[in-house]
Copies of this chain bind each other. A is one copy, B any other.
Amino acid sequence: MQFIRTSDAGFEAAFAAILEDGRDTTTRVDAAVAEIIQAVRSEGDAALLRLTSRFDGWTPGDTIALQVTAAEIDAAITTVEPGLLEALDLAAMRIEAFHRAQMPADLVVPGADGVALGLRWNALDAVGLYVPGGKAAYPSSVLMNAIPARVAGVARLAMVVPTPGGALNPLVLAAARRAGVTEVWRIGGAQAVAALAWGTQSIAPVDRVVGPGNAYVAEAKRQVFGRVGIDSIAGPSEVLILADGNNNPAHVAMDLMAQAEHDEAAQSILITDDAAFAEAVVREVEKALLTLPRRAIAGESWAKHGAVILVRNWEEAVGLTNRLAPEHLQIMTPDPQALFARIRHAGAAFLGRYTPEAIGDYVAGPNHVLPTGRTSRFASGLSVYDFLKRTTWVEADAAGLAAIGPAAVKLAEAEGLGAHAASVAIRL
């Protein structure tokens, strides 16, 4: 953990180092992934069976098929504690409502001059959702990825989830059912991404693949991009907390740790204008690191990537926040909306003393799939927009074409495109 002050002579260099702390953990697996994709393209299901047997340690056969049946999902859900299903349902309802509120309207510009214009939104036909297996299987991520797709109007939503040793995660299946997933396939890795992009005898191809995964999954998404759409490839998670001295240091410390416990490469940063408060938070972090179940991971993240920045005023904090462009931003000051109004770059913001970021991970309603690694400068969190696309249209009558056609002819001629010019001129 670094403790730096904007009043320090070396501040700019230290802050620049934080900005460039890529925390990149990518392994190069291009060739292995290319081979897997080729196998699935040429052999289809046979390759899926072979690769699943090899990587997941179980063999699909007559008794367990590649596709998880509705009866299997029903049976799994009965094993989930009812209170947990209620929590999942509350989360799903709230996520659904917030994403429904985002749905854009079509645009029609009637055009008094004989040229009507418009823009129409359509949902994608089919989407593939990658869900990691084993310990990285987060039911909340199933909701966050699947619900926006269904709200957007995607009819077919095929989920793939590896089942190492054949074991299914009942809460993941419950989330899939609640979120409206239409198919669940017991496959994972690059082979699952290839199957979604290219299709096999059993699995129909989709138009876009979303969802988090390991290095193989990320590389497979890169390689199928163009054939299908993909979501952005998420890096390690991060939080930036702006907090004044009137906060409970234990609360802020736990918020920092909630981020740090995700991953050794995660990053938690506190910006405050109160030196004594900063020190109190650091002490509370140390205390928390004695007892937290994931203290090994959180401790390493805090030690390697954590930072506390002491500013002279909130003006400075705004500037640093816009340079950091954090994935998650908590603002715990007396008027958080006023400060937030001046932030141009952040994936998601959590305002006030009663809005820990973790509330947004599960139940608040906005999406928790967010741009990491300073990419909120140009990228956004997952939303209904990821599952919609636009078609613009133009409808001119003879008068409309007469009004604007000559300018098109002139420009086409200047660009040396004779048939373009002629296709307009011939109608004038």
Contacts and interface: CB of A to CB of B under 8 A. Distances in A.
A415 B378 contact: no
Contacts of A292: 418-419, 422
Given A344-B122, A347-B391, A392-B381, A419 B354 contact: no
Identical copies in the complex: 2
A97 B390 CA distance: 17
Interface stretch (A1-9, A40-48, A250-258, A312-320): A250-258
A417 B294 contact: yes
A90 interface: yes
Given A392-B366, A395-B336, A420-B258, A404 B352 contact: no
A378 B210 CA distance: 12
B250 A426 contact: yes
Contacts of A416: 135, 293-294
A418 B350 contact: no
Contacts of A362: 407-408, 411-412, 420
Size class of the contact patch on chain A: 35 or more
A356 B385 CA distance: 30
A351 B393 contact: yes
Interface in A91-121: 91, 94, 97-98, 101-102, 104, 107, 109, 115, 117, 119
Interface string A350-362: 1111111111111
Contacts of A424: 356, 358-359
Contacts of A15: none
Given A378-B208, A394-B350, A427-B251, A366 B117 contact: yes
A381 B121 CA distance: 12
Contacts of A358: 408, 412, 417, 420-421, 423-424
Interface in A170-207: 171, 207
Interface in A301-359: 336-337, 340, 343-359
A166 interface: no
Contact of A378 (B262, B349, B377, B389): B389
Interface in A400-417: 400-401, 404-408, 410-412, 414-417
Contact of A254 (B101, B207, B423): B423
A12 B229 CA distance: 26
Nearest to A143: B411
B83 A352 contact: no
A16 interface: no
Interface in A375-401: 375-381, 383, 385, 389-398, 400-401
A400 B361 contact: no
A117 B365 contact: yes
B398 A354 contact: yes
Given A365-B117, A407-B363, A390 B394 contact: no
> Which of A87, A122, A251, A378: most chain B Cβ within 10 A?
A378
7 contacts: A91-B411, A102-B107, A115-B365, A293-B418, A348-B392, A348-B393, A355-B394
Given A207-B378, A228-B378, A362-B407, 14 more contacts: A117-B364, A125-B345, A251-B426, A255-B423, A258-B422, A261-B420, A288-B422, A292-B422, A345-B391, A351-B393, A351-B394, A352-B397, A357-B423, A364-B396
Interface of A: 83-84, 86-88, 90-91, 94, 97-98, 101-102, 104, 107, 109, 115, 117, 119, 122, 124-125, 135, 138-140, 171, 207-208, 226, 228-229, 233, 250-251, 254-255, 257-258, 260-262, 288, 292-294, 298, 336-337, 340, 343-367, 371, 373, 375-381, 383, 385, 389-398, 400-401, 404-408, 410-412, 414-424, 426-427
